[in-house]
Each structure stands twice: as C-alpha cells, then as structure tokens.
C-alpha cells in the first residue's frame, strides 16, 4: 500500500473502534487493521456494555446497536459449596430510558460498531495481521508491517488496540509481555434457552435483564470471580481466576467452569440449556501498577493492550472505549494545531487519562490485587464464615438467638482471631480507598 494515512489503528475491539470512529468523524484519514474474518470474530467478553462510555462517542447508539437486555438487577453471591449469601439490587429506575447498562453479544456488537467506523469514513481491512511496527532512524513509529509482500503501511501515528496479548507492542519493545500474576484466565459458555424460560427463571419481562457476579468457593481458593448474565434467549456463564493461581493450584479451567455450573444454586438456572460456544480469554488485571508506558514517538496504547481493566468492578470495555476516544482526541487536537505526534506532545493523552475516571479508578484500587493475593482469607474463610453464619442464624431449632450469635462470633474468632478480624477490615479499607 503506497498511500500514507494520518493514523493506523491496530485491532477492531472496543478501544480500536472507539479510536477509529472518533478519528474518522473528525475527518482524519484512518486505516484500521483487524486479524479476524470480521470484527468481533476474535473478541471475547462477558459481556456488559456500559452505555455512558459509548454514548460519549455515538450518542444515538441505542437506535441501531444490537443490544440484548438492559440490566435492571445486579446480584452478588458469596458462595460456599452448598449455599450462597447474596446481595441483590433491583430497581425500576434501571428500567427507565436511557438505560445505563446492557448485556451484549460481542461478535454482533463489534460488527455493528465496525459498521459505524466505516460509515464515519475509516478504511477497515479484516483478515490482516500486523506483524511489526515500522520505525524511522530516530526510532519514531512511522507505520506497520502486515503479513503481505511489500506489506509496509505508513502513517503519522499508530494506535495499538490489539488486545491483551498485544504481540505488536511486546515485540516492538513498547511493553513487557504480560505476567501470569497480572492476568486472569476466563472461560465462558453461551448457553441457549427459550426466551420465556430465561424470563421466568430470572423474573424478567420485555428487554430487562439480570446479571449475577459470583465469588467464594467457586474460585476454589484462587483470586477470581464468576458471572452469569442474561441475554435475550441465552445465558453467558463464565469464571475467571488469576493465571498464577491456576498455575500454582494446577487447575484446568474447563473443569473449574464445569464445577461452578454444577453448584446447587447455579445448576437449576442453566438446566436444559444448549451450549453453542465455548470461549477463553485473558483479562489484564494488574491494574494501575502494571500499566506500561502508554505513548511514545508516533504511538499510543489503548484498551486491553495497555491493561485498562478495573477488575474490582468488572469493568473493561468502558475503559477501552474511553481510552480509545481519548487517544483519538489527543491526536485530533495535535493535527488540528499542526503539531507532531511526538512523545512530548502525546503526553497530553496521559493527562487526559489522569483527568478521567479511568486513572482515578485504577489508582483507587491499585493495592487490591496484592491484598487479595496475600490475604487469602477474603477468598476462602470469609465466604465460608458468612454462609455458616446465615445457616446458623436462619435454622430454627430451639436454640436461643443470643447463643446463636455467640456461636457465630466464636466461629469468626476461631478462624481469624479478634486481631485478625480487625486487621482484615483495615486491609480491605486500605486496599480500596
């Protein structure tokens, strides 16, 4: 390709699409390269779409985007082997437009997003894997090399949105490869059921949906969570745990998911369903401390490539879209003022990130992974104690309530000691402030 572009975007996931769309809308000459047969064919997510991040890019997205259900109820289940203690929040306020969150099916959604990118004027080429970054003598990134003969394509700037494994950035020396301790491995199934069955099982009607986040015994002592999301006529069920833990415990992820599916609280929800796809994906959960250099001469890094995931709140796609948009806006401002995309000028991208919820949230939870990693009682002991406590308290058997309370407190003290309990409260507070 002898043409030169203003910007090349590598990858057509949420971050790449947000960047390419924003750039093309501003009239820049954009090339977006995607290795899959179609945008979305390589992409995996739970998936929840956070409307706000997309609204800031495509305000009327609801008119045409393929959305499954808007979320009116969030359940959080803390599990032990046979039970769960749960918190549910369901509100009619979430059942009013404009809806705040939706379940989506990524292969369909990404295709739609990519259509919008193309309508905005970007050139999108699929089935093209980027092999390397091109640099000039000063080391500035000046384009990419694709797996074709004479596959050199030039641009003033390159946005790396090539996902969690980001071979391009790693091999190009822009960041270290991901570490097992900074990444979760998630496995997921799409289970289909008649629409009426989904609605009856989850107390739903119309387009409303429920999401369930699961923690406790299902992660078998590893740092991780499970999920069960309702789509129109399917359920997305999955579990993700830190890869370093899976490695240490010699856990086979498929079997971990099967055991979770067999839990007595979960099995009836998915019973009779037909699994039509099985997927796996790494999630960069290293957070603030694991972020690489985010920009340099002629390049910016966005989305999963850079590790923009808020693991505590299960948010990623909104960080991806936001970082993609901010990277694009940085470039648009530079080009409009006739400035070079040098590292010094692209520092404005970092400033924009710092000013947004993205960095603020990542910073807030910068210690949580370390805390959970070192303080396993939050994963094993507490879910177990909570379930035991509920069981003791809710079993009517002639024992008086005060001695039941004493029994519960004694169980907590026995497992964690009084100082342990106070210390844990402090640790959790420290890790999330």
Partner 1 sequence: MIKVEEKLYQNRYRVDAGLPHIRIKNEDICNSRCPTQQCAVCCPAGCWSFEAGKIGLITDGCLECGTCRVVCDEFKNVDWNYPRGGYGILFKFG
The binding site for partner 1 (CB under 8 A) comprises: 35-37, 40-45, 47, 105-108, 110, 126-129, 147, 164-165, 167, 177-180, 183, 185, 187, 189-190, 234, 236, 243, 246-247, 250-255, 258, 275-282
- Rank residues 127 and 405 by Cβ distance to partner 1 and give the closer one: 127
Q: How far apart are alpha carbons 392 and 335 in whole angstroms?
A: 66
- Exposure b/e, 177-216, CB count within 10 A at least 16 = b: ebeebbbbbbbbbbbbbeeebbbebbebeeebbbbbbbbb
On whether the CB atoms of residues 17 and 120 are closer than 8 A, the answer is no
3-class SS at 6? strand
On whether the CB atoms of residues 137 and 123 are closer than 8 A, the answer is no
On whether the CB atoms of residues 361 and 192 are closer than 8 A, the answer is no
Q: How far apart are alpha carbons 20 and 29 in whole angstroms?
A: 10
Q: Least distance to partner 1 from the beta carbon of 303, Å?
A: 15
Q: Least distance to partner 1 from the beta carbon of 19, Å?
A: 20
On whether the CB atoms of residues 180 and 243 are closer than 8 A, the answer is yes
Comparing CA positions, the residue from 202, 200, 208, 43 lying closest to residue 112 is 43
User: Omega into 47 within 30° of 0, i.e. cis?
Assistant: yes
- Rank residues 168 and 372 by Cβ distance to partner 1 and give the closer one: 168
Q: Least distance to partner 1 from the beta carbon of 390, Å?
A: 29
- Rank residues 147 and 355 by Cβ distance to partner 1 and give the closer one: 147
- Rank residues 251 and 318 by Cβ distance to partner 1 and give the closer one: 251
- Rank residues 161 and 190 by Cβ distance to partner 1 and give the closer one: 190
Q: Least distance to partner 1 from the beta carbon of 36, Å?
A: 7
- Rank residues 108 and 364 by Cβ distance to partner 1 and give the closer one: 108
């Amino acid at each position: 390709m002898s043409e030169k572009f203003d910007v090349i975007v590598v990858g057509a996931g949420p971050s790449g699409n947000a960047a390419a769309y924003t750039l093309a809308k501003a009239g820049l000459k954009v090339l977006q390269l995607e290795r899959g047969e179609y945008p979305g064919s390589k992409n995996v997510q739970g998936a929840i779409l956070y409307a706000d991040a997309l609204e800031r890019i495509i305000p009327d997205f609801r008119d045409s985007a393929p959305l499954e259900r808007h979320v009116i109820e969030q359940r959080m289940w803390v599990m032990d082997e046979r039970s769960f203690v749960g918190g549910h929040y369901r509100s009619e306020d979430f059942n009013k437009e404009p809806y705040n969150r939706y379940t989506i099916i990524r292969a369909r959604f990404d295709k739609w997003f990519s259509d919008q990118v193309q309508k905005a004027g970007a050139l999108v080429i699929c089935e093209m894997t980027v092999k390397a970054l091109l640099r000039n003598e000063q080391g500035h990134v000046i384009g990419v090399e694709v797996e074709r003969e004479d596959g050199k394509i030039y641009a003033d700037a390159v946005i790396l949105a090539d996902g969690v494994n980001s071979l391009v950035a790693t091999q190009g020396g822009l960041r270290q490869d991901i570490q097992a301790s900074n990444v979760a491995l998630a496995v997921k199934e799409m289970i289909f059921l008649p629409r009426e069955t989904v609605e009856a099982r989850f107390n739903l009607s119309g387009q409303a949906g429920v999401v369930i986040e699961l923690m406790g015994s299902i992660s078998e002592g590893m740092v991780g969570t499970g999920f069960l999301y309702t789509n129109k006529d399917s359920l997305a069920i999955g579990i993700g745990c830190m890869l370093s833990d899976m490695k240490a415990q010699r856990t086979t992820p498929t079997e971990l998911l099967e055991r979770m599916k067999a839990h007595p609280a979960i099995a009836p929800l998915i019973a009779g369903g037909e699994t039509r796809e099985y997927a796996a994906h790494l999630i960069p959960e290293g957070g603030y401390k694991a972020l690489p250099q985010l920009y340099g001469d002629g390049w910016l890094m966005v989305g999963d490539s850079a590790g923009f995931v808020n693991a505590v709140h299960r948010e990623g796609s909104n960080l991806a879209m936001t970082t993609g948009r901010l990277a694009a806006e940085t470039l648009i401002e530079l080009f409009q003022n006739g400035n070079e995309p040098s590292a010094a000028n692209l520092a404005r991208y970092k400033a924009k990130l710092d000013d947004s919820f993205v960095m603020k949230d990542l910073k807030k939870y910068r210690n949580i992974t370390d805390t959970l990693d070192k303080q396993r009682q939050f994963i094993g002991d507490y879910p177990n104690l909570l379930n035991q406590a509920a069981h003791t308290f809710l079993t009517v058997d002639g024992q008086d309530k005060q001695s039941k309370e004493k029994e519960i407190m004694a169980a907590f003290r026995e497992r964690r000691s009084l100082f342990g309990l106070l210390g844990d409260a402090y640790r959790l507070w420290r890790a999330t402030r």
